[in-house]
Structure 1
């Protein structure tokens, strides 16, 4: 069990992200809606940036609704994020990644 230390909101985001199955993605907006804050997609992105356990809390599975890979741990358009998605079997061409 991870010892999560963040705000209540961040912990809700991280919990939601841990439930994204390997090989699938969700948008920041979908995560925001799933935790009951449909307009907080930018705050979801911020929670991803502050993820203390990037291996266990797979923020790389969260992408922008507008397409593209988005950021990964604060790095813009990170090739590492794209590589992690590909390694999990995500067809990045479907999402314009």
Structure 2
């Protein structure tokens, strides 16, 4: 899969647009549901819905999307409750991010604010 193309799959046009934007996020950087929603003139909840159904993860890196507060948020349809209440999927998301140099602290928040990225080209 090239950096700008999606593999074939049974996805909606909206999901295709969301996943194409995910491919723009550089390794070691994160963005927010709100930034994706703004780029697509949509809503953060709609973005979350598309990400929860991402059949191409982790190649299409939905793990690089956090809540606007820097909170780890959801992954594969599971939402972390916070303050150490980490589900299995959030642990996987943290591991994927850590492998790229993105640290999530013990409270579930982005530790290094320089990791933020929002340079989407629509």
Q: TM-score with structure 2 length normalisation?
A: 0.70
Alignment of 1:11-90 (within 5 A): 11-37=16-42, 40-77=43-80, 78-90=90-102
Structure 1 consecutive aligned stretches of length 4 or more whose deviation exceeds 6 Å: none
Q: Residue 94 in 1 paired to residue 92 in 2?
A: no
Provide the aligned length of Structure 1 versus Structure 2: 93
Question: Residue 37 of structure 2: SS of its match in structure 1?
Answer: helix
Q: Which structure 1 segments of 5+ residues have no match?
A: none
1:18 CA drift (Å) = 1.1
Cα RMSD (Å): 1.4
Q: Which has the higher helix share?
A: 1
